[in-house]
Amino acid sequence: PESWKKAVRPNTKAFFGETIANPKNDVLDIAAVAKVAHDHGVPLIVDNTVATPFLIRPIEHGADVVVHSATKFLSGHGNAVVGAIVDAGKFDYAQYPDRFKNFNQPDPSYHGLVYAQALGVGSAFGANLAYIFKIRLTLLRDIGAAVAPFNAWLLAQGLETLSLRIERHVDNAKAVATWLESHPQVEKVNYASLASSPWNALAKKYCPRGSGSVLSFEIKGGVEAGKKFIEALNIFSHVANIGDVRSLAIHPASTTHSQLTPAEQLQAGVTPGLVRLSLGIENIADIKSDLEKAFAAAK
């Protein structure tokens, strides 16, 4: 929380963080950060993509807005481009008219509507709808970020099996993380549900079922070992996506972050041997067998 306090500036409009961070599985102290945000008169917006509502329900811990890349675990099969915004309706923008002018000044495109007054706390609707109506009435109109009907249907189908899938995702992730921790070619494993993780206490507090299925580890041998490891995988797909029923893997230093200098990669948290895994729902024996073959190729 202290680092968040130090980061506040006069023009700060919101705090933003991931409930479970990709790729190192850091866990956000939602309640503590929410208190700092509210003490400074700004909302806390969190990305709950990796955790999903099955593992963490951020609004219950003080978050004001929750966003999801529903392309990932919510739809579950990597076949639909969908995003979601969930507003808790708790933050009162009318209390800070100078900071949130778009909510407190007339909107000429809607006949002078003042969102914080007409749709906020104490409005005739009986709920604080200022934020979500602002999103729908202006940003959706101006940007056109509307989900395609078929993608919406795919998301609805995916939600029906969310709990079943996440349970299997997490079981596989826990098994792989524990196995990797004792592997001779692994220097470090980043997974909050491990007792060795610096984030384990927060994981127990916010996601006792498990800290998701996106984890990373440092393979001995640096960049070359990481590339050989990825190229030798068969069950795992080599893609930049996460949250698929299929297991996915990537070596950021040679792919997504390859245009950065080594110093810039380190600044972004990408070390030479960092490998990210998004564990799917395959049989755990098959997953471990595929990983072991890749380790053999990376020697």
Domain that holds residue 122: 2-143
- With 90 as the cut, is the pLDDT of residue 62 above it? yes
Distance between the two ends of the chain, CA-based, in angstroms? 42
198 shares a domain with 103: no
Q: What percent of the chain has pLDDT over 70?
A: 100
Looking at the domain assignment, is residue 150 inside a domain? no
Question: Which of these ranges, 137-146, 171-180, 235-244, has the smallest mean pLDDT?
Answer: 137-146
Looking at the domain assignment, is residue 148 inside a domain? no
What does the alpha-carbon distance between residue 73 and residue 114 come to, in Å, rounded to a whole number?
Answer: 37
- With 90 as the cut, is the pLDDT of residue 168 above it? yes
Looking at the domain assignment, is residue 152 inside a domain? no
135 shares a domain with 202: no
Q: Which amino acid is at 160?
A: E
What does the alpha-carbon distance between residue 230 and residue 203 come to, in Å, rounded to a whole number?
Answer: 28
The structure's pTM equals 0.95
Q: Which pLDDT does position 136 carry in this prediction?
A: 94
- With 90 as the cut, is the pLDDT of residue 291 above it? yes
Q: Which pLDDT does position 1 carry in this prediction?
A: 85
168 shares a domain with 135: no
Looking at the domain assignment, is residue 157 inside a domain? no
Give the residue-averaged pLDDT of 26-30. 99
Contact by Cβ (8 Å): 249, 227: no
- With 90 as the cut, is the pLDDT of residue 246 above it? yes
- Which of 143, 173, 188 terminates a domain? The answer is 143
Residue-wise pLDDT for 180-202, tens only, equals 999 999 999 999 999 999 999 99
- With 90 as the cut, is the pLDDT of residue 4 above it? yes
Give the residue-averaged pLDDT of 267-281. 97
Confidence of residue 240 (pLDDT cuts 50, 70, 90): very high
The torsion angle over the Cα atoms of residues 137, 140, 143 and 149, rounded to 10 degrees, is: -150
SS3 track for the chain = CHHHHHHCCCCCCCEEEECECCCCCCECCHHHHHHHHHHCCCCEEEECCCCHHHHCCHHHHCCCEEEEECCCCCCCCCCCCCEEEEECCCCCHHHCCCCCHHHHCCEHHHCCECHHHHCCCCCCCCCCCHHHHHHHHHHHHHHCCCCCHHHHHHHHHHHCCHHHHHHHHHHHHHHHHHHHHCCCCEEEEECCCCCCCCCHHHHHHHCCCCCCCEEEEEECCHHHHHHHHHHCCCCCEECCCCCCCCCEEECHHHCCCCCCCHHHHHHCCCCCCEEEEECCCCCHHHHHHHHHHHHHHHC
Question: What mean pLDDT value characterizes the chain?
Answer: 97
Residue-wise pLDDT for 113-124, tens only, equals 999 999 999 999
Confidence of residue 99 (pLDDT cuts 50, 70, 90): very high
Q: Which pLDDT does position 221 carry in this prediction?
A: 97
- Which of 96, 111, 143 terminates a domain? The answer is 143
* The total number of structural domains that make up the chain: 2
Looking at the domain assignment, is residue 178 inside a domain? yes
**Beta strands across the sheet bearing 248-250:** 186-190, 214-219, 274-278, 248-250, 237-238
Q: Which pLDDT does position 275 carry in this prediction?
A: 99
- With 90 as the cut, is the pLDDT of residue 54 above it? yes
173 shares a domain with 71: no
7 shares a domain with 134: yes
Give the residue-averaged pLDDT of 121-133. 95
Look at strands 274-278 and 65-69 and give their pairing. unpaired
Q: Which amino acid is at 144?
A: G
